[in-house]
Amino acid sequence: MPPKTATQAPQPGQTAPSILRNFCIIAHIDHGKSTLADRMLQLTGVVDARAARAQYLDRMDIERERGITIKSQAVRMPWTVPDGNEQGAEPGTYVLNMIDTPGHVDFTYEVSRSLEACEAAILLVDAAQGIEAQTLANLYLAMGADLHIIPVLNKIDLPSANPEKYAAELAGLVGCEPEDVLRVSAKTGVGVEAVLNEIVKQTPPPVGDPDAPARALIFDSVYDTFRGVVTYVRVVDGSLRHRDRIKMMSTGATHEMLEVGVISPEPVKAGEIGVGEVGYLITGVKDVRQSRVGDTVTSQHDGATEALGGYAHPNPMVYAGLYPIDGDDYPTLRDALDKLQLNDAALAYEPETSTALGFGFRCGFLGLLHMEITRDRLEREFGLDLISTAPNVVYTVTMEDGTEHLVTNPSEYPAGKVAEVREPVVKATILAPSDYIGTIMELCQSKRGTLGGMDYLSEDRVEMRYTLPMAEIVFDFFDQLKSRTKGYASLDYDFTGDQVADLVKVDILLQGEPVDAFSAIVHKDAAYSYGVMLAGKLKDLIPRQQFEVPIQAAIGARVIARENIRAIRKDVLAKCYGGDITRKRKLLEKQKEGKKRMKMVGRVEVPQEAFVAALSNAPSGGDKSGKK
């Protein structure tokens, strides 16, 4: 498909808000957001045929390998609406600011931030798969942000596409007529021009006061080794000019702007950015803590007094320890987490120590895929070798004397008489073909789920609502759901509170001493199987010692599983051939006494490889694939 010749767009800062259109693309995983963004970049001429590549806005290697979008990306595109267009849009040259968003449930926070920078959202649905769980979740986010919704059906060129059926479903969801749903093929480019014209026609222009003191909302930031912190903003009032002095309203820090510009799709310098524009600022600041996502930027002199709304800070759902394999890398890991948090505001961390693993950090994540991606990025971008402990959620433990303890790490589990333990629960929405209702119910009941309700979206598609413990979701729930429904089911979940549960702490003891890295908080019914599984695994991983080593799984003082690592025995009878049996017995008794003494003073050193193998093979879930 030949791209249009690049249109000369108005320069940043000179752009009237009436010709600006800010929109984002939201959809379930794998419904074609990034491919539609590629076609728009080609049609508007900002990416020429030589530079074009699939998923152009997925900049990170890890995004391209996994085929999923992790970071939102903003890009400025010029678009000329021709006279007599079928959509009835006003002819003229417009500036479109597009934000491509992630689709996975773990990155919903990225989506919610992107929505604050827009006035409209394209709701993209696969014409062969229909509405999925994340489609609904993202639609409700967009409606909550009061955005105008433009419904679009993608992949109409697929042999299995059923555009009439899903257009009716989508129209019923959004509240429009089926014929108002746009039909496109992002792969071939069919219908993409019509979408761009509809964006111009339906998206309200941004509203703001150009003469008021400058106010801009920070919706993302990244760390550049050479230039320091690069901050992405949406200007609401006034304008930000090159060499102005600016102030961060939450921290009070002031800086001089060394560079202002827009992303089109590479950074382009500008003299200023005005009302409604999406751009970037560079102040040369190296301290990553001074540019917080959700903060308001204003002028240092005669600046605004009232900050913009900002964002609700996300609460971590899953906690895991991250430890460097080489203890000398601890300062590097601390700096790496600082820089990564700038780019990923949902990441939380605090220092912790483990007797087994040394110094490290207790990190909070939104889900298991978020944890996996964070660890992957730390290893790739900062050259670290890390061990992550088994993930767990936050528990509230109430003792019999009434004291409460928040437990994010099994080693913090209090000793003594426990009155009750509360665990976080989520409200899960599962969309699937109606053939799999029985299978899904069986899975959810085995994971301690409670059915909250069930609705048929159409004759053959059903929406099921379950209340499930978060601890069950973070392990293998997603993988099992996909395998039992042949990949047709989709899952979305929201944190709803906590409930009392029958939970216990399982300790792993080596020669009677607990190893904190292997401790876990599990449901009473699953404690035995967890203990047997980990004791068996450690028996294979820990090398044999000069003395026998018992591996025990225990709940408090009660041992529930045991394995023995047999001692290495030297053949002390090698020189005895024939002769008196008493001499052999004497040598064996002497060896036995020596081993008994050794067992009393000997310590079991668990090799680092055993920790890595035992913890990396712990059960885990999360979407590890899904090409767009």
Q: Which residues are annotated as a binding site for GTP?
A: 30-35, 154-157
CA–CA gap between residue 42 and residue 389 (Å, rounded): 45
Distances (CA, A) of 115 to 148, 402, 505, 604: 11, 43, 41, 54
Alpha-carbon 115 to chain mean position:
17
Locus of tokens 């919704």? 149
Q: What is the DSSP string of 565-609?
A: EPPP---TTTT--SS-HHHHHHHHHHHHHHHHHHHHH---PPPHH
Q: Which segments of 348-491 does DSSP mark as H helices, in order? A: 368-382, 437-446, 470-472, 478-484
Distance CA 539, CA 626 (A): 36
- The number of angstroms, rounded, from the C-alpha of 18 to the middle of its chain's C-alpha atoms is 36
Give the chain's end-to-end CA distance (angstroms, integer): 20
> With contact defined as beta carbons under 8 Å apart, do 547 and 598 qualify?
yes
**533/529 Cα distance (integer angstroms):** 6
Beta strands 395-399 and 404-407, pairing class? antiparallel
3-state secondary structure of 321: strand
Q: Exposed e or buried b for every residue in 494-526, given b needs 16+ CB within 10 A?
A: eeeebeebebbbbbbbbbeebbbbbbbbbbeeb
d(CA 464, CA 440) in angstroms, rounded, equals: 9
22 with 120: CB under 8 angstroms?
Answer: yes
Residue type present at position 54: A
DSSP sequence for 51-84: T--TTTT--SHHHHHHT---S-EEEEEEEEEPTT
* DSSP-derived 3-state class of residue 282: strand
Residues 6 or more apart in contact with residue 581 via CB below 8 angstroms: none
Distances (CA, A) of 432 to 133, 134, 441: 9, 13, 12
Of the candidates 32, 40, 23, 18, the residue with the CA atom closest to the CA atom of residue 149:
23
- Is residue 370 exposed (0-12), middle (13-18) or buried (19+ Cβ within 10 Å)? buried
Distance (Å, rounded) from C-alpha 457 to C-alpha 498? 29
**61 CB-side CA count, 13 A:** 6
Helix (H) or strand (E) holding 35: helix 33-43
Distance, CA of 363 to CA of 612 (rounded, Å): 18
Q: Binding site residues, as ranges? A: 30-35, 154-157
Q: How far is CA 295 from the centre of its chain?
A: 22
Measured CA to CA, the distance from residue 260 to residue 250 in angstroms comes to 21
Rounded distance between C-alpha atoms, residue 280 and residue 233, angstroms:
6
